[in-house]
Structure 1
Amino acid sequence: MRFAPAAAALSLCLAMTASISSAGDTGAPDPRAAALIAQGQASLAAGESQAAIDAFEAALAVDPGYTPIFIDLAEASRQQGLQGKAIRYYREALERDPGNFAAISGEGAALVEKGALEKAKRNLAKLQSLCGDNCPETVALQTSIARGVPARLAVESKGDSTASN
């Protein structure tokens, strides 16, 4: 019985800490991060992918718990042609939020751009099971897969196969 008050106080502290840390994962970003995200999205829309990455990385430093920043970083990396880096950002977003449709679709599109059609089709199957065939993310990934591997990769792989013969 001597430990009951201490145990109650400790459990109250743990419950508060858990609720605070889980509350940081959802909702709106820090206002400073939101301004940096808006700046990054404007840069990305203007085709200035490096300026967008700089703004998104600054936003991530301000609010590391806001998962959508990773999706923005992935989009900017894809625009730069860095599909491997984009996939890493999408996977970080998925680690934090496994049901994030935008991350699943974006990762699938980056996989297509990298030439990994079978892995992209797995992402498509996952999306179809989670949100259906008419979900915007599913439609976007279906379109990417239908377009196939970018021409520059198809030419490179064709050149590699002729060089090995």
Structure 2
Amino acid sequence: MRFAPAAAALSLLFAATASVSHASWFDPDPVAEALVAEGQALLAAGDTQGAIDLFETALAVDPGYTDIYLRLAEAARAEGLQGKAIGYYREARERDPENLAAIAGEGEAMVEKGAVQAAQANLAVLQSMCGDSCPETARLAAAIAAGPPVLRAEVVDPTEGVTAN
């Protein structure tokens, strides 16, 4: 009888742990999946703002669907907003720390932003998780090898296109 409170507390702990681990592996809402698929098609067609609108709608429908954050990050990168993309990738990693696509995408966005050392830390994480044979590892290693994009100045003739009043 004196072990009853401890047994009850222990069984409650196991029940809570089991329900939390089960809750993280759920099927996404079919409406959210359809919105994400439609957004991907718009993103592939070059309509990034339309894609972002659909991804945000999908996020409102199913806020627990981690894949939406990856799609939002892709769209942000397509718009040249690497800092925003990194934020989305970090949200995806917070929800799913072992998400290889989020780790690799965050690293690629870091390279595009010029933070190569931070991207190398992501590469080390990927290598420890899945080795060098993983497509995400290879993709991030290639991005690091290529380095950040170089901005070039364009020479413009100041008299071209100027008219006198």
TM-score range, shorter chain: 0.7 to 0.9
Q: Structure 1 pair 108/56, CA: closer, same or farther in 2 (3 Å)?
A: same
Return the letter of the residue paired with 1:121.
Answer: Q
Deviation for aligned residue 1:19: 5.5
Return the letter of the residue paired with 1:94.
Answer: R
1 CA distance for matches of 2:136 and 2:112? 16
1 CA distance for matches of 2:126 and 2:84? 22
2 CA distance for matches of 1:25 and 1:94? 13
Secondary structure of 2:110's counterpart equals: helix
Match in the other structure for 1:58: 57
Deviation for aligned residue 1:98: 0.7
Contact 1:70-1:93 within 8 A present in 2 as well: yes
Deviation for aligned residue 1:44: 1.1
2 CA distance for matches of 1:37 and 1:21? 26
Contact 1:24-1:65 within 8 A present in 2 as well: no
Question: Quick check: 1:133 aligned with 2:132?
Answer: yes
2 CA distance for matches of 1:78 and 1:22? 32
Contact 1:49-1:76 within 8 A present in 2 as well: yes
Q: Structure 1 pair 19/37, CA: closer, same or farther in 2 (3 Å)?
A: farther
Q: Structure 1 pair 91/27, CA: closer, same or farther in 2 (3 Å)?
A: same
Secondary structure of 2:28's counterpart equals: coil
- What residue ranges of structure 1 are gaps of 5+ in the alignment? 157-165
2 CA distance for matches of 1:65 and 1:46? 27
Secondary structure of 2:91's counterpart equals: helix
| More helix per residue | 1
| Per-residue Cα deviation, 1:101-148 (whole angstroms, up to 9, x for no partner) | 000000000000000000001111110111000100000001111111
Match in the other structure for 1:29: 28
Match in the other structure for 1:75: 74
2 CA distance for matches of 1:54 and 1:24? 27
Deviation for aligned residue 1:28: 2.5
Percent identity between matched residues is 62
| Per-residue Cα deviation, 1:38-60 (whole angstroms, up to 9, x for no partner) | 11111111111111111111101
Deviation for aligned residue 1:24: 4.2
How many residue pairs end up in the alignment?
A: 149
Return the letter of the residue paired with 2:29.
Answer: D
Contact 1:33-1:59 within 8 A present in 2 as well: yes
| Aligned Cα root-mean-square deviation (Å) | 2.4
Contact 1:33-1:60 within 8 A present in 2 as well: yes
